[in-house]
Structure 1
């Protein structure tokens, strides 16, 4: 059995200003065609106020370890579109465009809108005419998108029924990042509820001959649990192979290794550590 753990976390980026502390929560990192890294994420002054999170942080660096340069917000909430907040961006590249998926909220938390904005340079973003690309609940959020075989797959957290139930990791597939299938379920947790749950921040990666799902907070705020499977569309509680002291964890590949991030309320920005697979 493969065990998974993290090395030492080191802070790489703090968005705070001299007179005010700011946090980064759910976030994403992507490297552009010139090799520069971009970080996008939920941001807000401390103390936390999730329903007042209305802009996405943007920072760049030549190396994910920093130093990072802070830029103006990448996106701000669009009330005219019915957005009530901006949560959990995830960015992928396809063709000549970058696609940013995010939770734009809405007045009905059982039918949250999964928003989409596009860009050609990662600095200037425009909402796609089809945004939101679908709706789901309860507070369906934290999208993570990757290519598996001949299709795009979006994982996100929701509940077994839009009005509540077991916390789950749902997924949908798409041929073009615009048209998405009905949802299916990749993981069902024994815990139940409506809003925040322990299947937040799902991240799916492949290492060697296996698939790994990261979710959290489990069991505490700064806690991410890792599950292993031979099938990227099915994970079970019995598949648990690791625990990392991180919140809103994302994984990047850099310098021939996997690295895992940690951020969140009161965490002093974003930290980075090696993700280690040991037999």
Structure 2
């Protein structure tokens, strides 16, 4: 199933892939073309602003929406308290700044807002995001919903779940009959190996216990090479985009036949991107990049080339 159909339409279940299922004879290597700036959050502001982890979605009228972490430069992650919102007639723009989509709610346990992802199911838009509190070993993954992409209501029952260290950067997709929420975390709440964790759900509000889809050899607490996980199904294979790896503006792509098990041996591409988001729009594939000190949001063609592996 295409990302356009998955994120921007009434959702249906894409294939469930596991060992032994029919797959393409060989996977693709992944690369990106030239990145072009499509949105500058500093326009109309007295100082420079940045957008970091972000998401794109197209509404039912065809308008594209961008949501993301934002703050005035320099980087100040603990005080990122609102989500940027911009709209455009196409992915390449022109993008128009809108009022912030969501602001921090201390009564909900939030001290900052990180890494939104938005999907649509029927007439409802679901925004998954990291609503962090002061205890980084019990970080919150939260949910807000909307019917118009401008007015959002948090789930009344509170956070979906808590995890550490700094569990964040949620990304939701469909695998078979279940929803899967991928996110970055560490192997223990107080630190350890940087990992990509996942949980499953049938209703988007009640989630299973966590399991691990990818483990990086590196250890630590804040940050790490498993941030911004994005999982895509393409030509019979699953692809995991994570970073920063190599440099701050660096994303590695790993392939697997199993959406719940990736390893460093599956490396199939490296992109000059930070907080990469992948979008397919009527057969055209795009990958984005943003982050601290990057001057806004950038977009490049994403290319799949048949591998000999």
Q: Fold-level match, TM-score > 0.5?
A: yes
Tell me if structure 2 keeps the 8 A contact 1:225–1:240. yes
Partner SS state of residue 291, structure 2: coil
- The farther-off stretch of 1-10 and 61-70 is 1-10
- Return the structure number with greater strand share: 1
One of 233, 244, 250 as aligned partner of 2:271: 244
Does 2:240 correspond to 1:221? no
State the secondary structure of the residue aligned to 2:265.
helix
Q: Which residue of the partner structure matches residue 195 of structure 2?
A: 168
Q: How far apart, CA to CA, are the structure 2 residues paired with 1:270 and 1:131? A: 31
1:126 aligns with 2:153: yes
Within 5 Å, which residues of 2 pair with 1:82-97?
82-97=109-124
Match of 2:40 in 1: 14
Q: Which residue in 2 is equivalent to 1:116? A: 143
Pair 1:30 & 2:67 matched: no
- Residue 150 of structure 1 aligns with which residue? 177
Pairs within 5 Å for 1:188-199? 188-199=215-226
Pick one of 84, 105, 112 that aligns with 1:78.
105
- In 2, Cα distance between equivalents of 1:266 and 1:212: 28
CA contact (8 A) 1:114 1:131 kept: no
Pairwise CA distance, 1:95? 2.5
Q: CA deviation at 1:107?
A: 2.1
1:276 & 1:177 partners in 2: Cα distance?
A: 31
- Contact 1:130/1:178 (CA < 8 Å) preserved in 2? no
Tell me by how many angstroms 1:18 deviates.
4.7
**Local SS of the residue matching 2:180:** strand
Q: How far does residue 262 in structure 1 lie from its aligned partner after superposition?
A: 0.4
In the superposition, the TM-score normalised over structure 2's length comes to 0.89
After superposition, the C-alpha distances for 1:194-231 in whole angstroms (9 at most, x for unaligned) are: 11111000000011111100000001100000001001
Q: Are residues 203 and 116 of structure 1, via their aligned partners in 2, closer, same or farther at CA, if it must alter by over 3 Å?
A: same
Q: Which of the residues 114, 138, 146 maps onto 2:165?
A: 138
- Please give the root-mean-square deviation of Cα atoms over the aligned residues, in Å: 0.9
1:180 to 195, 201, 207: 207
Runs of 4+ more than 3 Å apart: none
Structure with more contact order per residue of length (Cα contacts < 8 Å, sep ≥ 6) = 2
Which stretch of the first structure deviates more once superposed, 137-146 or 87-96?
87-96
Cα deviation digits, residues 110-162 of structure 1 (max 9, x gap): 11111111100000001111231100000000000011111110000000111
Cα offset, 1:254, TM superposition: 1.2
Task: Work out the CA distance in 1 between the residues paired with 2:109 and 2:238.
Answer: 36
Contact 1:117–1:131 (CA<8 Å) still a contact in 2? no
Query: Which secondary structure state, in structure 1, belongs to the residue aligned with residue 137 of structure 2?
Result: coil
Q: For structure 1, list consecutive stretches of 5 or more residues without a partner in the other structure.
A: none
- Once residues 269 and 131 of structure 1 are traced to their aligned partners in structure 2, the CA distance between those partners, rounded to angstroms, is 32
Q: Deviations over 1:86-111 (max 9, x none)?
A: 00001111122111111111121111
Answering whether residue 186 of structure 2 is matched by residue 159 of structure 1, we say yes
CA contact (8 A) 1:144 1:203 kept: yes
TM-score in terms of structure 1 length = 0.98
Q: Tell me how far apart the structure 1 counterparts of residues 82 and 63 of structure 2 sit (CA, whole Å).
A: 22
Shift of 1:235: 0.2
The 5 Å alignment of 1:61-72 reads 61-72=88-99
Q: Does 1:60 align with 2:118?
A: no
Structure 2 gaps, min length 5: 1-26
